[in-house]
Structure 1
Amino acid sequence: MSCSNGDKILRPEPFRIKVVERVSLLPFEERKRVIKKAGFNPFLIPSRDVFVDLLSDSGTCALSNEQLSILMLGDESFSSQRGYFYLIEKVKEITGFDYVIPCHQGRGAENILMDMLVKKEGLVVSNGLFETTRAHIEMRGAEGIDLPTPRIKEEDYLFKGDISLRKLRNILKSAPKKVNFILITLTNNSQGGRPVSLHNLRKVREIADEFRKPVVLDASRFAENAYFIYKHELPGKSIRAIVREMFSLSDIFYLSAKKNGLSHSGAIIGVKSRRLYENLSSLTLFFEGFPSHGGLPDRDLLLIAKGLEEIIDEEYLAFRIEQVKFLGEKLREAGIPVLYPFGGHAVYIDAEKLLSHFKNGFPGYAFASEVYVEGGVRVGVFGGKLSGGGTPEYVRLAIPHRVYTNSHLLWVVDAVKRVVERKKEIRELALSYSPPRLRTFLARFRQV
């Protein structure tokens, strides 16, 4: 952001804070007891014991005054409520999709879609599958394959969320009948939350049409992806127009409204085929609730519709991306190995590179545990041997929407730096409990 004399200044929050929640920092020794009781897994730390929570940007946002106001307008009828039609109208306006189904959250939408689309012994090819998505595919006897762009090794290339077009074409040529569909994740959470270029999406559409395969978007962070395209690929096009084109290049989309819907719950499925919509509606009725609400109160449908409108505001998105960059640059300046360029919702620390002296023991979980002990900061851990995705073990610092100021982030930076200073003292971890699926979230560890 520039001021009158042309100097660059830090962009302030484009909102005023009306309601606050008190948080407190537990004593150091108490934090040590908390992380041990949680099995050195940050997902299992009670939220009441957390000072700054960067575990996830999903469902952790602050609501706007207009969202809070609209909650009072909910029509809590059993079916075909007013909020449903308002949501459909808003989703059509933003995405261009005619057929819309709400669900209670993202993995509920995944469950319904995968039940309909995934075939046993089939393949789902993707730019990067999130861990719950991969689990849904594998539960149905199929395999998910990640095809990251070869340009991921180029340090300054921004669109590292792209799919490898060459590998995509090769798989479709060699096993056309096995591939169920192509799934593109926006932004690519498995690759540092980096965006997918519009050029890449257009080429995916061409290849999919050539081989007659459907394109599915996990559009949970569609707005952040669109902003990167707006700033770095198509600056002459509006964010709304970019969003519309991104969705037009797919046959089906789903999104967790807990992310770019600026909501605490909910998800949306959008399809172009009326027949598929009718089949999915039947499954929704079975698993989620009546297709006009998907298990959600009507007030939440209204809230999601309003959130979808608020998230595509250019001024807010500029602040959002700059806040992530602010955190990332502070860590990078301290010599901490972070994925660069930064994505749209989080900063990722390469724990395997940072704790390269570890021989076996789960560097991401070990480092995340120490960050909590040092500053009461909870961060996420993804990738590595527990995820099954073939990526290194990353510590993810995900920033909730409209919750923390840059002062909070400076506290986080200081805590991380202090842990890095004593990284040689960090003890390795060994598994003490590992569930059969989604081990990232439920595994427990002990120090060795």
Structure 2
Amino acid sequence: MKVLLVGGGGREHALAWRIAESPLLTKLWCAPGNPGIAEHAELVPIGAESIPALVSFARDNAVDLVVAGPEAPLTLGLADALEAIGIPCFGPGAAAARLEGSKSFTKEVLDAARAPTAAWTRFDDPAAARAHIRAAGAPIVVKADGLAAGKGVVVAATVEEAEAAVADIMESRVHGAAGATVVIEECMMGEEASFFALCDGTRAIPLAAAQDHKRVGDGDTGPNTGGMGAYSPSPAFTDAVRDEVMERVVNPVLAEMGRRGAPFRGVLFVGLMLTATGPRVIEFNVRFGDPECQVLMMRLRGDILPALLAAARGDLSGVSLGWSPDPALVVVMAARGYPGAVTKGEPIRGLDRAAVVPGARVFHAGTARGADGGIVASGGRVLGIGASAPDLRAARDAAYAAVDALDWPGGFCRRDIAHRGL
């Protein structure tokens, strides 16, 4: 099989690593990729959102499967354009990708499917949003309706903080057009978990769960980010919780999307709050999480490529994936200033030392080649330092040993990844 992987972050590095191991693979390209992905795939200089160029490349090179890593090309219709020329794509069409592209659409689908979620209201007018906040009180959650790279959510502890979030999102447009509308929700209490299910439009098979760390600082302090680390499995996400989420959320939502004429194929990322009354949906994503994908790929047993192809073709019958009982953990190394403006171009040394720490694995996210051929930081989240071991504490120790092997003065990370699990 010839495969084109779309994207260039840590999630795509993890997918490239596992796809490259498949005995079915004859050629793997990645567009645009990164220096870490180049170890597994031939890089193609096409941006992840350049839909016509991606489709032309897939057609001209007789690609058998396109795997979409990030959400943006899916919301822009990559899967639809590929379907039109007979090439399967792992990832939903644009109509189904609205489950991530619009939070208010997601809430409407959840309500129609009678799936448990937070009470919510949508606002297009900032004054009306502020009036609602003052009436409801705090804590309260303010979300930009559109795509905001994981940064468009504010869990406000006070009314003043929530009103400031409305001003930033709707009036200052800190997230651009994504903030034209906001969704304001009740603040659910509990423990968060990320659960993934492979879907073919009508049926789903459960994958595994992970726990992400969204806030930038130790102790879950500071602003929300795209994710500062993750671990899997999550002790709070039991088999009973998994079965309840499949029965009350995943299967009804798949049925509802089918009724709407937008069948969902790909991986459904269910962001959950594990409350005292059971799991409730925070959000959906229409792709693997980043950094959750890295820990899932470290735990995966078997060949992922047939499963991706089966989902893309709309027939998961007979597909099963196994998971190592050994926990996996990833620590995100970010550039100074993240999630705000960051310094780019700083050299990162010691990657070879980090890679040989027993149990450790280095995933590239925001990296590039410098003028001297070395690796430099080129983004906000730059590296994912992963590790797997027989127990969670050993995995954490190995990951931080690999972090400490790096020589990158401009990088930082949280030092408490997996603190809940431990």
Q: Normalization by structure 2: what TM-score?
A: 0.30
Q: Which has the higher strand share?
A: 2
Q: Normalization by structure 1: what TM-score?
A: 0.28
Q: Which has the larger radius of gyration?
A: 1
Of the two structures, which has the highest relative contact order with CA contacts closer than 8 Å and spacing of 6 or more?
1
